[in-house]
Chain A
Amino acid sequence: MKYLIANALIYRPEDGVLMQPGREEELVTLTATANAILSLLVTRHGIAIERETFLSEVWDVRGLRGSNSSLNQYISILRKTLAVFAPEHQFIITVPKIGFMLNPELSVQRQSDDDDLPAVGLPKPRPKPKKKRWLWPALLILLTLINFAFGMGKLLVDSAESRVDALPLTKIGQCPIYTLRPLPEAWHEEAISMAHRILQKVRLPSCQPNTVFYFFVQDSIFYGEGGRVVLTRCVRNAGKAVTCHTQYYYEW
Chain B
Amino acid sequence: MSLTLRRTILLFVAINLVILLTTLLLYRQQAYLNIDCQGNLTMEDKRGNNTFTLDSLVAVHFAPNGRGDFNLAGNVTTPQGQYAVSRQESFKWRRVRNTMYEIEIVEVLRYGLDNVPPGTFERYLLGIGLHQKRLVKIRYTPDNGIIIGNLYSPLFVCSK
Q: B45 at the A/B interface (Cβ < 8 Å)?
A: yes
Contacts of A158 on B, CB cut-off 8 Å? 27, 30, 98
Give A196-231 as 1s and 0s: 1 = Cβ < 8 Å from B's Cβ atoms. Answer: 000000100000000010101010000000001010
Q: A44 at the A/B interface (Cβ < 8 Å)?
A: no
Size category of the B interface is 35 or more
Q: A240 at the A/B interface (Cβ < 8 Å)?
A: yes
A46 to B66, CA, bound (A): 93
Contacts of B15 on A, CB cut-off 8 Å? 144
Contacts of B141 on A, CB cut-off 8 Å? 163-164, 166, 180, 214, 234, 241
The stretch of B71-79, B108-116, B128-136, B150-158 in contact with A is B150-158
The stretch of A23-31, A71-79, A135-143 in contact with B is A135-143
Contacts of A245 on B, CB cut-off 8 Å? 39-42
Contacts of A141 on B, CB cut-off 8 Å? 12
With contacts A162-B138, A163-B140, A234-B143 taken as known, whether A244 is within 8 angstroms of B20 at the C-beta atoms is: no
Q: B16 at the A/B interface (Cβ < 8 Å)?
A: yes
Contacts of B12 on A, CB cut-off 8 Å? 140-141, 143-144
Q: A247 at the A/B interface (Cβ < 8 Å)?
A: yes
Q: Which A-chain residue is minimally distant from B42 (CB atoms)?
A: A247
Q: B26 at the A/B interface (Cβ < 8 Å)?
A: yes
Q: B8 at the A/B interface (Cβ < 8 Å)?
A: yes
Interface residue ranges, A against B (CB under 8 Å)? 136-137, 140-141, 143-144, 147-148, 151-152, 154-155, 158-159, 161-164, 166, 180, 202, 212, 214, 216, 218, 228, 230, 232, 234, 236, 239-251
Interface residue ranges, B against A (CB under 8 Å)? 5, 8-9, 12, 15-16, 19-20, 22-23, 26-27, 30, 39-47, 98-99, 138-145, 147, 152-160
